[in-house]
Amino acid sequence: MNMTDKEEHSGNKLSLLKALLKILPEDAVLHEKEDLHPYECDGLSAYRKLPMIVVLPDTIEQVQSILRLCYELELPVVARGAGTGLSGGALPLENGVLLSLARFKEIIHIDPKRRIARVQPGVRNLSISQAANQFGLYYAPDPSSQIACTIGGNVAENSGGVHCLKYGLTVHNIQQLKIITMEGELLSIGGSGLDSAGYDLLALMTGSEGMLGVIVEVTVKLLPKPERAQAILAAFDNVVKAGEAVGNIIAAGIIPAGLEMMDKLAIRAAEDFVHAGYPLDAEAILLCELDGTNEEVSEHVARVRDVLHQSGATEVRTAKDEAERLTFWKGRKAAFPAVGRLSPDYYCMDGTIPRKQLPRVLKTMAELSIEYNLPVANVFHAGDGNLHPLILYDANIPGELERTEEFGGKILELCVEVGGTITGEHGVGIEKINQMCVQFNSLELTHFHAVKAAFDEKSLLNPGKAVPTLHRCAEFGAMHVHKGELPFPELERF
């Protein structure tokens, strides 16, 4: 930044600060550098930027006023929940306002009869289930980050969890939203019933990564807690066999509540970390949870055990009690931090593939791992084909982060090639923006931009995230010629 830019920047900042202090109390506006640091990144810490100003409103009217002000001043705004996102979605802009929803922490109302909860966006995912527990109800989507992440962030990312094979993603478990547009208008989306009139804006908002509107209230659906849950752990001497076992369980007509796979490196990491009793000699383990009524679970446990044996499992263990069930899961839920102990840094990928492509994808990943000389641990929502390869690296070694990102990019492109997607649940953010050019053509991307413009004409909400510009794709395409074809041939090259 040259001198005049800098002066202009601080001049802008000062007048913005003044205007914001008319809307918010002093403790809700952060502008000193040391106060801004906690907001410089989300869970993807390789990308960092200090925002110009952070605001912490706690009423809908304040959010409206902030957005109206920014709309008039044409200042970009990035919404932020707990900052656990893994794709840089909440990465601030240095010339923009970071709008934290952290103070919207109230569970407004739980209606046990209709099995819904109306909550503010800053409420943590787990606290909804905790509050609903007194009624025998819970909120089904359970991302591993559920003790920290907010429901607003969950909606913005359409987050999943280990139970989404049976119970669906965020989009299947919400009924109504209140959002504020960049112009400061409060909209109610969805309704008090199950269907609503007009276009499905509820679906459009879910997974929109803070680019269409700021979510200020969420009505979630609650489910009755299952009478019983039972977990089975199966070991395999071969990853492909474990993958086939997943298909065989589904072919038997059973949809488990959760069906997770871990490979050898992930098993070892998790076992060292939480001592879940995982078999260390296995090449892969499957964790299968069955829930429902007592009778149903008994019947399904017996059938799944048979299927696993027939699929070549070397060992099949059923948790003998609730404590053991939780121990089985503890290893899986702690898999990311566990892998984090094996290496100074790790990079978590999030592609989804048609399940039958698993052997091919695992084989290619193993080859890439050798090529890039970077180990990969695999944690896999096996039931729905969502892979989380964790690439182990050391950011202190010059060039290693770049190599890791390139390797990660290759994995995502592979997912697209086999008919899958670059992101199953973590979102595109800033991280996978280049790979969007691989998954979508310029016409499709143009429509995404038009969808954004339908809500946010001036492109001020989280600009630059999730959907790449066509020029960016042309640049990326020039570097990565895909299958010998130049993407975006209609665009000029530079």
Partner 1 sequence: MSADLSQQLQQRIQHAYEAKLALQIVGGNSKSFYGRSVAAETLSLAGHSGVLNYEPTELVITARAGTPLKEVEALLNQNGQMLPFEPPAFSEQATIGGTVACNLSGPRRAYAGAARDYLLGCKIINGKGEILTFGGEVMKNVAGYDVSRLMAGAMGTLGVLLEVSLKVLPKPEMELTRLFNCSANDAIEKMHAWSQTPLPISATSFHDSVLSVRFSGAAKAVNAAVNHSGGEINEDAEKYWHDLKEHRLDFFNTDKPLWRLSLASDIESLALENSAADYLYEWGGALRWLKTDSPAAEIQAAMEKIDGHASIFRHTDQVNVFQPLTPALMRIHKNLKMAFDPHNILNPGKLYTEL
Ligand X SMILES: Cc1cc2nc3c(=O)[nH]c(=O)nc-3n(C[C@H](O)[C@H](O)[C@H](O)COP(=O)(O)OP(=O)(O)OC[C@H]3O[C@@H](n4cnc5c(N)ncnc54)[C@H](O)[C@@H]3O)c2cc1C
Quick check: 305 and 318 in contact, CB under 8 A?
yes
Largest CA distance in the chain: 74
Q: What is the CA radius of gyration of the chain?
A: 23
Closest CB to ligand X among residues 85, 256 = 85
Which does residue 331 bind out of ligand X, partner 1, none, counting CB within 5 to 8 angstroms by kind?
none
Nearer to ligand X by Cβ, of 155 and 316: the residue is 155
Dist CA 45 CA 42 (whole Å): 6
Which single residue is written with the structure tokens 């670059």? Answer: 422
Shortest distance in whole angstroms from residue 99 CB to partner 1? 20
Shortest distance, position 351 Cβ to partner 1, whole Å: 9
Q: What CA–CA distance (Å, rounded) separates 200 from 66?
A: 27
Of the two residues 253 and 398, which places its CB atom closer to partner 1 in the complex?
253
Q: How far apart are CA 312 and CA 234, in angstroms?
A: 10
Least Å distance, CB 69 to ligand X, is 18
> How far from 314 is each of 190, 198, 258, CA to CA, in Å?
49, 53, 21
Distant-in-sequence contacts of 36-42, Cβ < 8 A, 24+ apart:
39/80, 39/83, 39/92, 39/98, 39/100, 40/92, 41/83, 41/88, 41/91, 42/80, 42/83, 42/84, 42/85, 42/86, 42/88, 42/89, 42/90, 42/91, 42/429
Q: Which position has the token pair 């591993």?
A: 144
Residue 31 or 103 having the CB closest to ligand X: 103
- 42 touches, from ligand X, partner 1, none (C-beta below 5 to 8 Å by class): ligand X
| Complex with ligand X: residue 28 or 368, whichever CB lies closer | 28
CB of 85 to partner 1, least distance (A): 12
Neighbours of 14 (CB within 10 A): 11
The distance of closest approach from Cβ of residue 306 to ligand X in the complex, given in angstroms and rounded to an integer, is 30
Closer CB to partner 1, 83 or 85, in the complex: 85
Contact residues toward ligand X (CB under 6 A) are 42-43, 78-86, 89-90, 101, 121, 143-145, 149-150, 152-154, 156-157, 159-161, 209-210, 214-215, 336, 425-426, 462
| DSSP H/E element including 459 | none
Q: What are phi and psi of 118, to 5 degrees?
A: -105, 120
Nearer to partner 1, 307 or 316 (CB): 307
Number of helices (H) and strands (E) in the chain: give both, helices first: 17, 18
Least distance CB 434 / partner 1 (angstroms): 12
Place of tokens 């993958």: 243
Report in angstroms how near the CB of residue 430 gets to ligand X at its nearest: 9
Nearer to partner 1 (CB atom), residue 15 or residue 293: 293
Q: How far is the CB of 238 from ligand X (least distance, A)?
A: 26
User: Strand runs (DSSP E) across 335-420, as ranges?
Assistant: 345-348, 376-381, 386-393
* Partner interacting with residue 168 (select from ligand X, partner 1, none; CB below 5-8 Å by kind): partner 1
